[in-house]
Amino acid sequence: MTNLSATDIVGTLAALCSMASFTPQIVKIWRERDASSVSLRMYVVTVTGFMLWIAYGVLIGSWPVAASNTVCLALSGAILALKWRFGENRG
């Protein structure tokens, strides 16, 4: 049995919240087939940030940092793809 410290628990909860935070936006865009209110610039910066976090996690040998940010990259990348598919000029 693994003994988790308070730091491990807080870090795990933070990662889970970060990963889950993208789901409502994905569901909303998919249901409404509309991403016109989603900021393209914001998600380009977000995706770039997650790529850098993954690189950082790999470089310091921290698989939790790399893994959680890989999930966040996939989810924010999905929002970016939906933005391109269902953005302002789509109909």
- In whole angstroms, how far apart are CA 13 and each of 26, 34, 72? 21, 31, 14
Domain boundaries 6-86, corresponding CATH code: 1.20.1280.290
d(CA 34, CA 57): 34
Which residue in 42, 41, 44, 69 sits closest to 55, CA to CA?
69
pLDDT in tens, 37-83: 999 999 999 999 999 999 999 999 999 999 999 999 999 999 999 99
Residue spans of the domains in the chain: they are 6-86
Length of the chain: 91
- Is the pLDDT reported for residue 90 higher than 90? no
Residue 87's pLDDT is what? Answer: 86
